[in-house]
Each structure stands twice: as structure tokens, then as C-alpha cells.
Amino acid sequence: MNRISFSSDYTQRLSRLLQLLGDETRLRIVLCLAQGEANVTELCEWLELPQSTVSHHLGLLRLADLLTTRREGRQVFYAVSKSAWRDLAGGFFDQLPRGIRSDVEAR
């Protein structure tokens, strides 16, 4: 059986992603933003959380390059960084054995 080799950089990035998403608040933020961009006020309303909590978690997700921002006047809109997620998730799924990958793609 041929073993697949993963670079240390890739496994560190994937580990960081999984750690970040292991927090329910951050996971909820990402799931909200996967539906479209939003500002902090909107996220606070949807998640029923205080602004300080949402801002803290947004900051962590931004530091990991998992979110992008867009300014409109004084407001900042957050969105999922599709390229970052594609790189991380794509690399992960590319390494799955062919049979498992086919099952995942069929869903």
C-alpha cells in the first residue's frame, strides 16, 4: 500500500482550521457567513450573542485567513474566504482514497 505524504505546513494549517471550528461559536459564524456576507451587527442578531464575543471570534477566524472583509463606509462586512477553504478542504479530499472520495462527492 502506498502511503500518502502530507507536508508539515499543510497538516499544521488543517489542524488549526479544525481547532478553530471545534468552537461552537466560530462554527456558527462560519455557517452563517457561508450563506453570504454580513456585518458584526447582523451576526450578533442572528447568533444572539454580544458584539464583543462575535468580534473576538471574527478576529480569530480572520487571523487564520478563513474570512475576508469589505468596507462600506464605517461598516465592515465579513465573508468566507472561498480560496482558503478550497485550498484546505480540496487538499484534504484530494488525499482520500478513491472509493471514499467518490462517496463524499456523490452526497
Q: What are the sequence ranges of the domains in the chain?
A: 10-82
- Specify the 3-state DSSP secondary structure of 76: strand
d(CA 100, CA 76): 40
Q: How confident is the model at residue 82 (pLDDT cuts 50, 70, 90)?
A: confident
- N residues, the chain: 107
- CB 67 within 8 Å of CB 81: yes
**Selected residue with higher pLDDT from 3 and 84:** 84
The per-residue pLDDT for 36 is 93
Nine-digit cell at 78?
Answer: 465579513
Per the listing, cell 484546505 goes with 88
pTM to 2 decimal places = 0.73
Residues 6+ apart with CB under 8 A from 84: 65, 66
Looking at the predicted structure, is the pLDDT value of residue 85 above 90?
Answer: no
Q: How confident is the model at residue 97 (pLDDT cuts 50, 70, 90)?
A: low
| Chain segment 8-67, per-residue pLDDT in tens | 887 887 788 888 889 999 999 999 998 999 999 999 999 999 999 999 999 999 998 889
* CATH architecture label of 10-82: Orthogonal Bundle (1.10)
Q: How confident is the model at residue 99 (pLDDT cuts 50, 70, 90)?
A: low
- CB 85 within 8 Å of CB 67: no
Q: How many helices (H) and strands (E) does the chain have?
A: 6, 3
